[in-house]
Structure 1
């Protein structure tokens, strides 16, 4: 079949048709896929049959070195595979992030080498809710007021591994020495496209280095509000068999709430990225 690329929204995202990932892809097909990924930032393959972890792992490895999972209770047989969802065994969660909505974030931004890409495959999906929202980091950065861009030029923001929520409760001060944290440029340059993207997020960005807390909060709030504007976002309605790959270097993502009584189960593989470069 001939590969077709169908944009999913004006902001970002595209569906790629004519590819059966269970059979692998040729070098020519992969070149087309990479080009679409860099252009649209989020790519979707529908109706994929990937019952084995290794099928997804093999495709993910085409994009680069895979990041190993450090939470063994949620990992699969392969060290790069993690399960996301609310299935339980003997009363214990079998997957990470089992319930609830999540604020916009960037995967592994609290590490020295944040994720390059995240690949998520839908195995079970609730009847409603649980959508994933994506924001275009390029468009968000471009839309920032000039005074914000000028003030944060050359500055870094500190990101903290804090799914417990203390970072999002902005009235609380967080001791960043208690967990994993790392500082990265607020505007980072994508190594493949050369474009600047905003690299802060509400879920894990704690503060801007070198600024007083009040000024840091003022600037971050402008950025957070811009990220969530609908004109910069694509909302993905999941179907079983969907495989999504997003570029963490130029996108942010969030999750809608869903009924915890319904099963939601997805398989994740993460591609390791590079140290972000200053924009």
Structure 2
């Protein structure tokens, strides 16, 4: 269901933006690679050897909708109701491949859209345990968008992104879209050496997403993979003394820089940005695991620390997560893939590493979860 009492006038499709964007002085370390437009003919009809978009119903629009601030709500994770044997999610005949020991699983032989509520409960718990799961051979992209949203809504209140493009009439779908022949990344790499930007999605919200779905619509022949980091394992790798020092600390997470980046490009701003405080170590409500909950895209400072003190500690944590290749997984996209991850206990980064000009088009549905909380430290 779309939000009520919201103006839904849509702006025309924009020509692709190619100029270098100069952000405001408080833009911080935020990296913005998302285009705010595309070549309409290239996407709808194909052009210069590129085929048309496979899912034109998912092409992004940028409207002038304005939404009120998000209000708190009670959230109960359905993983708490799951059978830990996973009889419906992982029945006999399903193929399970673990990408790494601590994070990442590929599954073939089960259709997400056919799961009962009991199966969805098991999905929530399994994803919380494995952190990120790639389901192959899915029909998710072929569902009516309204049905895909109803599916995601089972896991929590759906988040509406403040700046991204969305399919016409479905603002709850966050689109990741780089159109055929798009060259906007060229301007980015004039001033940056890497597209890697570790983050947990919209962690600046008071109740950031938990169970999150991302499904492929169009993908380059090679490139455009997504990196994931296990922030539970990142926490576990720290010494007990260091873990104890982190407990009780809170950090601010800011959405201001993301909105500033969109405004600087003439993009959408659907909701005024917020700053929230979250514990640096948060606890998962189903598994009870503790995870680091900071990321360089949105975390800004440690509450009560002087800026220099905060910067030193946060940089250590960011580097610890980014360099932790032994608790990371790399998901390679293929047709009919749906990736489900738990945004509370992971961070991730897309890679803009292909130069073929081929389209990369994905849709994300993110269910908001509980207010981040911390449980007492135990050595």
TM range (shorter): 0.7 to 0.9
Aligned mate of 2:109, from 6, 13, 18: 18
Aligned mate of 1:266, from 362, 366, 370: 362
Aligned mate of 1:250, from 345, 348, 354: 345
Contact map agreement 1:144 1:223 (CA 8 A) in 2: no
Count of aligned pairs:
261
Task: String of CA shifts for 1:48-88, please: whole Å, max 9, x gaps.
Answer: 12223234223322322222344474344323112111138
Contact map agreement 2:197 2:297 (CA 8 A) in 1: yes
Answering whether residue 331 of structure 2 is matched by residue 240 of structure 1, we say: no
Aligned mate of 1:85, from 162, 177, 191: 177
Give SS of 1:112's match. coil
Q: Tell me the CA shift for residue 128 of structure 1.
A: 2.3
Structure 1 portions without partners, runs of 5+:
94-99, 167-177
Partner of 1:174: none
Query: Would the alpha carbon gap of residues 165 and 186 (structure 1) be closer, same or farther in structure 2, given more than 3 Å must change?
Result: farther
Partner of 2:236: 142
Give SS of 1:74's match. coil
Structure 2 portions without partners, runs of 5+:
1-90, 185-193, 262-271
Answering whether residue 321 of structure 2 is matched by residue 227 of structure 1, we say: yes
In the TM superposition, 1:149-188 aligns within 5 A as 149-161=243-255, 162-163=257-258, 179-188=273-282
Answering whether residue 158 of structure 2 is matched by residue 66 of structure 1, we say: yes
- Compare relative contact order (CA 8 Å, sep 6+) and give the higher one, 1 or 2: 1
Q: Determine which structure has the larger strand proportion and give its number.
A: 1
Query: Would the alpha carbon gap of residues 31 and 16 (structure 1) be closer, same or farther in structure 2, given more than 3 Å must change?
Result: farther
Query: Would the alpha carbon gap of residues 189 and 17 (structure 1) be closer, same or farther in structure 2, given more than 3 Å must change?
Result: same
Answering whether residue 229 of structure 2 is matched by residue 129 of structure 1, we say: no
Contact map agreement 2:162 2:259 (CA 8 A) in 1: no
**Residues in 1 aligned to 2:220 and 2:258: alpha-carbon distance in whole angstroms:** 23
Answering whether residue 283 of structure 2 is matched by residue 192 of structure 1, we say: no
**TM-score normalized by the length of structure 2:** 0.63
Answering whether residue 207 of structure 2 is matched by residue 113 of structure 1, we say: yes
Query: Would the alpha carbon gap of residues 231 and 73 (structure 1) be closer, same or farther in structure 2, given more than 3 Å must change?
Result: closer
**Residues in 1 aligned to 2:296 and 2:228: alpha-carbon distance in whole angstroms:** 14
RMSD: 2.8
Query: Would the alpha carbon gap of residues 151 and 271 (structure 1) be closer, same or farther in structure 2, given more than 3 Å must change?
Result: same
Partner of 1:37: 127
Answering whether residue 131 of structure 2 is matched by residue 57 of structure 1, we say: no
Task: String of CA shifts for 1:193-244, please: whole Å, max 9, x gaps.
Answer: 1111100011111111101112111111111111121001001111121101
Partner of 2:68: none
Query: Would the alpha carbon gap of residues 104 and 218 (structure 1) be closer, same or farther in structure 2, given more than 3 Å must change?
Result: same
Task: String of CA shifts for 1:253-272, please: whole Å, max 9, x gaps.
Answer: 11222336221000111101
